[in-house]
Structures are given as C-alpha cells and as structure tokens.
Amino acid sequence: MEINSIKTSALLMYDGFIQNADARTENWLLMSSPVLQSIIIMAYIFFVTSLGPRLMENRKAFDLKGILVVYNFGVVALSLYMCYEFFMSGWGTGYSFHCDLVDYSESPQAVRMAATCWLYYFSKFIEMLDTVFFVLRKKNSQVTFLHVYHHSIMPFTWWFGVRFSAGGMGTFHAVLNCVVHVIMYTYYGLTALGPKYQKYLWWKKYLTTIQLIQFVMVTTHISQYFFLHDCQYQFPIFIYIIGLYGLIFLFLFLNFWYHAYTKGKRLPKVLQAQTWAHHSNGVMNGHANHKDD
C-alpha cells in the first residue's frame, strides 16, 4: 500500500511539473517524457564504459577512416545548418543579446526557434557516436569520465530546455557551440583524411583558445541576468545551470591551458606534444577523437 502511495505521489508531482511545459513540443520525437532519452543515455554509458570494451577486448580494432570522414563533415554540415536556423529564428533577427525571453506563440519565427532547439538537442545523440568510435577503434584511454559526462549530460539537460524553454537568452550557448563545432569537426574531418592533409592543420594549436573564448562568452552573456533590472526570463533555473556549466568548463580549459602551454613550455618539444595530447584527450569535451595513430 505504501509503495502505491509513493507511486501516486510521484505521478502527481510529475503531472504538476509537466503542466508548465511547452505544449508546442509535446508530441515531437523523444519529447513526451524524459524516460526514453534516459534509457538511451544509460545504454550509451553502459556500452562505452563496459559492454563495448569487453566485446572489443579480443578483437582487432576497426578501421573507420572512411566512416569518420563522412561523420565529421556530416556534423560540420549539420552545425552550419543549425547556426543558420538559430540566426534566422532570433539571434540575427531581433534578439537583443541581453534579456531575451522565450516566445511561446505559434508564430512562424517562434516555432522555428523551438524546432531548432529540438534539432540541437537531437544532435547531441548523434555526437554520442564520438565515443562509440573510440570503443570500436580500441581507443579506450580516450573514454574519460569528462568525455562521457559531457556527452551524457548535454542531451539530458537539453530535454528540459526544449520542453520548457525553447528559445530566448538560454540558447546563446547553443549558438556558440554550433559555431565551435563547425571549426572543430572540420579539423577532425581533415585529420581523418590522412597524413597528406596535415599541412592544412597548422591551426590545431588554436582549438583550445577557441574553446576558452566560447566559455568566456557563454559565462559573460548568461551572467548578465544577475545584473539586469526586471528581467522576466520564464525559467531562471536554466540560467543557473548554464552559468554553472560554463564556469566548470572554463576552469577545466584554463587548467589545461596552464599545464599544456605554461608548464609544458619548460619541457622538450617531444614531451610538450605528449603533454598536449594527454590533456586534450581528457579535456577538450572528449572531441580529440579522430586523430590517426
């Protein structure tokens, strides 16, 4: 009886919680409840941390160079498209870059923004393939906690973003992330093409700088909320989440920068390269994943 009471109370709490959700996104793929996405995320974590490495233990690593080229440049194309859609649905057509509220209307522009937010959310499931490719190529040392955490927490938190707050100032970090992914996945795509393209990768050392700039901009933009007078952003909880997320990764990247480019400068060049590679595997959102051996 007590178990049934707990279940009833939990359902009532969930019903009260979901009543505040955006009705426009209710019937979109994966949006009816967070249960299915949670199952996918747990399956992803189980595969990349346990099942996958066990299955590959006594097998030869897969040669995925062709697939990686298509995958990386596919993500570049998708990121470019999302940049355009974010720009056309608000960030280039009326947003002030200050206290931009969520437009819950059925206007074409408001629905376009919500659809772009959903596409960004869905792209996070596509990017889980980064880790799957690690496992299939037996690059298990690159399946770090930070990497798996990043690829798990992004889709989970963005379900709530799309379901409750699809637009407004809380989407600025998504726009920046799409821009950064265009640059980063272009680099990974060129890397996957093979050694003859190494001469075009002179800008590799700037990837960390680009990431740092991204998190500084995200943190600066979202911090405005605490200084703006009478900003009636509908779901302030997302402001706190984005701010915390931005700060955490800003500090992680500053730590990487210090070890790779300050302390590392005192090392011989070979050891500098090893230091850079070690930290980039663990810190750069787990994205330094398509480098050839």
Structure tokens at 178: 């799409």
Angle CA 261–290–150, to nearest 5: 75
User: Residue 252 corresponds to which amino acid?
Assistant: L
- CA atoms of 175 and 172, how far apart (whole Å): 5
Specify whether the backbone of 268 is left (phi greater than 0), alpha (psi in -120 to 50) or beta: beta
Structure tokens at 144: 């770090």
217 contacts 167 by C-beta, under 8 angstroms: no
117 contacts 166 by C-beta, under 8 angstroms: yes
Q: Packing angle between helix 145-164 and helix 35-46, nearest 10 degrees?
A: 170
Catalytic residue among 150, 181, 279, 290: 150
Structure tokens at 52: 């996958």
Structure tokens at 287: 């994205």
Q: For residue 150, indicate whether it is catalytic.
A: yes
Closest CA relative to residue 14, chosen from 163, 166, 183, 138: 163
DSSP letter at 22 equals -
**Could you list the active site residues?**
150
